[in-house]
């Protein structure tokens, strides 16, 4: 629903003084100072004991891509245009938090999920499938990696390649600013989690499911051990054939974003051969671990009839895989696992093709790339069945049991209306919005 108001929301964001501040500051050369100092990307000063309060500062998550048409998919990045104004309030977002949400850096994400990112991944290849071309992909990724202290992709470490859906360096598809924001998000998040991995960006000719599927198959031919997908569209029938033809690749871990429009199932996340990735909100906290999390709960604006939240639910068409055993859905249930996706607690991304440089991003596209990176760190895809292995090792995940006390507008902190069941409401153990939980190291992957 939110996607239909993209143009109006984007216009509203661009005329705010806060957004103007971002546009001015983000054009400077990318250095670590951008992530640790200036207000547009830095975390605010620590505050005292936080209390849950309504979202009173501007909160305008704008979909990078518009509504998908039949037979196509939309990218699932949400640009948080209202973040600079919220940052200026310098208030924390939930009880026990020590700072207000800030766009998280690579080091933040590695810390939050206790990942051995500096040690592993050297022999792994993550393929990222998106539509259209991002002409600035390599340069923007270089800026992100430099600012985050990650090894450069250069002649001594050729860690980034961009190809078309036939696996060739050219000709590339038409450029597209909407999908460029998604592609920047994807390559940045893959780098953040697995900086030693090789990244292959496979750009489909367009956002049709057929072209995206062809790019998926090409990624396998190129030797990817993990394929991360940050796009989706509503179920319409015929999905079983699509899943069979494009998303069934033994020996390859395939992660797919569950969607950003709240309760409801999308394709290809519902395919039984992929790992469907839901979303959470992530906060720094005074706990021993230093981080706390909630389910990304439905955020509803009744005035504009818009909503955002992670996709979840029971597929209408896809049979339940043998490794899934929840009681209320006879078919495939979404999601399987999760990571940060709430645009209220965004990640930092660098995109200069249609955006000013540093931007704050949410959406399950972020989470899908994080989980893809974790699979690459684990390095087990060739020898395991990722779904079965994940469910057999659920105890090594961090269970997410509650919704956000700040942004949720549904009792129980759910992502929609399902009678309060686990299909849309977080709780102990498995639930639709967060699956089995978030990474706590690599043991479940």
Question: d(Cα 43, Cα 53) in Å, to the nearest integer?
Answer: 19
What string of pLDDT tens digits covers the 445 residues of the chain? 445 434 333 323 322 222 333 333 333 333 333 333 223 333 322 222 222 333 344 557 889 999 999 999 999 999 987 665 444 333 334 444 444 446 999 999 999 999 999 999 999 999 999 999 999 999 999 999 999 999 999 999 999 999 999 999 999 999 999 999 999 999 999 999 999 999 999 999 999 999 999 999 999 999 999 999 999 999 988 889 999 999 999 999 999 999 999 999 999 999 999 999 999 999 999 888 899 999 998 776 555 555 689 999 999 999 999 999 999 999 999 999 999 999 989 999 999 999 989 999 999 999 999 999 999 999 999 999 999 999 999 999 999 999 876 555 666 677 888 988 999 999 999 999 999 999 999 999 9
Cα separation, 295 vs 438, in Å, equals 10
Max Cα-Cα span within the chain: 56
Angle between helices 209-221 and 239-246 (to 10 degrees): 20
Q: Check whether the bond before 171 is cis (ω within 30° of 0).
A: yes
Question: Residue 20: which of 345, 356, 362, 354 has the closest Cα?
Answer: 356
Q: What token pair was written down for 225? A: 């051990």
Q: How far is CA 427 from CA 163, 329, 339, 371, 410, in A?
A: 42, 17, 16, 21, 14
Return the beta strands (E) in 33-137 as ranges.
Answer: 61-63, 74-75, 78-80, 125-131
Is the domain defined by 2-439 classed in CATH 3.40.50.200? yes
Question: Can you give the residue ranges of every domain in the chain?
Answer: 2-439
Q: What is the pTM of this model?
A: 0.86
């Amino acid at each position: 629903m939110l996607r239909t108001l993209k143009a109006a929301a984007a216009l509203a964001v661009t005329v705010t003084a806060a957004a103007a501040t971002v546009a001015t500051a983000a054009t400077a050369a990318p250095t670590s100072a951008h992530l640790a100092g200036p207000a547009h990307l830095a975390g605010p000063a620590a505050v005292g004991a936080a209390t849950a309060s309504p979202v009173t500062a501007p909160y305008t998550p704008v979909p990078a891509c518009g509504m998908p048409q039949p037979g196509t998919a939309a990218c699932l990045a949400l640009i948080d245009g209202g973040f600079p104004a919220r940052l200026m309030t310098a208030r924390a977002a939930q009880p026990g938090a020590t700072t207000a949400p800030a766009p998280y850096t690579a080091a933040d994400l590695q810390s939050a999920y206790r990942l051995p990112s500096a040690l592993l991944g050297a022999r792994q290849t993550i393929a990222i499938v998106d539509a259209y071309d991002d002409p600035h992909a390599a340069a923007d990724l270089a800026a992100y990696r430099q600012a985050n202290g990650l090894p450069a992709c250069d002649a001594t470490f050729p860690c980034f390649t961009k190809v078309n859906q036939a696996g060739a360096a050219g000709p590339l598809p038409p450029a597209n600013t909407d999908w460029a924001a998604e592609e920047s998000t994807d390559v940045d998040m893959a780098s953040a989690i697995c900086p030693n991995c090789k990244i292959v960006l496979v750009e489909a000719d367009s956002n049709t499911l057929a072209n995206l599927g062809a790019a998926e198959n090409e990624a396998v031919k190129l030797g990817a051990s993990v394929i991360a997908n940050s796009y989706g569209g509503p179920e319409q029938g015929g999905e079983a054939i699509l899943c069979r033809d494009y998303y069934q690749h033994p020996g390859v871990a395939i992660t797919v974003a569950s969607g950003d429009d709240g309760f409801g199932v999308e394709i290809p996340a519902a395919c039984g051969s992929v790992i469907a990735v839901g979303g959470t909100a992530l906060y720094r906290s005074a706990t021993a671990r230093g981080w706390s999390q909630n389910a990304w709960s439905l955020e509803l604006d009744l005035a504009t009839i818009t909503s955002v939240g992670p996709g979840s639910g029971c597929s209408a068409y896809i049979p339940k895989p043998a490794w899934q055993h929840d009681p209320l859905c006879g078919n495939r249930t979404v999601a399987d696992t999760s990571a940060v996706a709430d645009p209220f607690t965004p990640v930092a991304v660098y995109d200069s093709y249609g955006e000013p440089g540093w931007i704050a991003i949410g959406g399950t596209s972020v989470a899908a790339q994080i989980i893809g990176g974790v699979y690459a760190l684990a390095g087990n895809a060739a020898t395991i069945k990722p779904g079965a292995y994940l469910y057999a090792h659920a105890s090594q995940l961090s269970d997410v049991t509650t919704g956000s006390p700040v942004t949720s507008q549904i009792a129980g902190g759910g992502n929609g209306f399902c009678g309060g069941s686990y299909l849309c409401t977080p709780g102990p153990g498995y639930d639709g919005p967060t699956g089995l939980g978030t990474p706590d190291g690599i043991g479940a992957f």
